[in-house]
Each structure stands twice: as structure tokens, then as C-alpha cells.
Amino acid sequence: MDLKGARILVTGGSLGIGKAAAEVLVKSGARVGITGRNGDRVASAAKEIGALGIVADAANIDDVNRTYEEFAGEFGGVDCLINNAGIGAFRKLADVEHEDFKKVFSVNVFGAAMMAKGALKYFTKQGRGHIINIGSTAGKKGFQSGTVYSASKFALRGMTQCWQAELRPQNIRVILVEPSEVATAFGKEDGVERVASPNKLTSYEIAHAIKSVLEMDDRGMIPELSVWATNPW
């Protein structure tokens, strides 16, 4: 994919991995839109990195539809969707509530699926397109207190494989990028980014991975890419 002039939509793009990816892609010449639920954060991030800011909740189907209206209205279409928006709930089984599943799956699974469905309308007309789902290594191996979050990322991994089987004949690449532990503001209400220690991943390692898999010529595809810290101990 030639990133210069590419129209790329990043959900959850006002902080963390989404913001870093948007910044790297803008610097590579792409035309980028970011979404987020906090209007002030979206506006600030969009201004800082030179992206289109769209205030929207990926779990709200009306917001999903409006996101594509605003993005396509600005850029004339969509070439790539990066499904980055995600939330978590971390409880031991004895403490898990039904609402935890509903809240997390509404964004991490249902929201990602509806965003992908929205992009497909443009990709089918163009005869090409790219979807990058930001999963997690928690979608490959569970962990203590990860019942809800890990289940959502296993589900996203499964959906990715289904979309790959469905969409390859239409020249649509679907790629799963699975970060290990990354220092971001994930789970913090104040939105303040955590500072990574020297041996931990930052959002920019994941942004580099996203850029790299997109830049491969469209005849090739990396179905799944896990990114780990070299020596996290």
C-alpha cells in the first residue's frame, strides 16, 4: 500500500497506540481521521498531529454511521480502517458481572465489527481495502483476572480470521496486530499516558508495526503480527 495520499481512519485515536499510529501515518503522507469519545482530547490530538478529528463512540451504531459520513465527506472515501478503540475490565471470576461483558464486548467486539462493516461498503466499490484490528497477546493466551478482556480479544482474533477468509477474494487485506504490554493511558479515566520503563514497549513500536504491514505491496499480506518487548524483565 502506498501511504502517500491514503485515506486512513483510526478509531480510539486521541491517545496511546491510536494516536501514535495516526501521527506516524500522517508523517508518511496519509490523510488520517481519528475518533474518540472525549471531544477535548480528540480536538487536541487532531490539531497536534494534523488529522481530522471525529467525536464518536465505536460502540454506538449511530456514531459509526456518522463517522463514515464525516470521514468520506472530507476525503471522498476510505482506503484503510484501523480498529484500535478498546476498553478493559479486569476481575477474577468470582467478581465478574454480566455488565462487564456487555461493556467491553460492545466496544472491542461489536464496535469493531460494525466499523469493519461500514468500511466494507467503500472497499467493495473500490475493489480493494485494508482493515487492521488491534488485538492483544491476551487474545492468544489468557491470564489471571483476564476473563472479560482476554475473551474479547480472542473474539476479535476469531473475527479477523473469518474476515480474512471472506474478503481475500475481494482484494481486501485484514491484518491482526497483537501488542504485548504497552505503556499507554489504557484504563485511566484522566487520560494521562503512563511512562514506559526502558525495557517496556511504547505506542510507537506498535505504530511502526502498523506502518510496516501496510507498506507491503498489496499482493502480500501478514495475517497476524505479535509485538513483544525484547527483554521485559
Catalytic (active-site) positions = 149
> Which residue from 58, 61, 48, 44 is spatially nearest to 9, judged by alpha carbons?
58
> Which residue from 89, 119, 91 is spatially nearest to 107, judged by alpha carbons?
89
**CB < 8 Å & 24+ apart, contacts of 29-34:** 29/3, 29/4, 29/5, 30/3, 30/4, 30/5, 30/6, 31/5, 31/6, 31/7, 31/75, 32/8, 33/7, 33/8, 33/9, 33/67, 33/70, 33/71, 33/74, 33/75, 34/9, 34/10
Residue with cell 476498553: 87
C-alpha cell at 88: 478493559
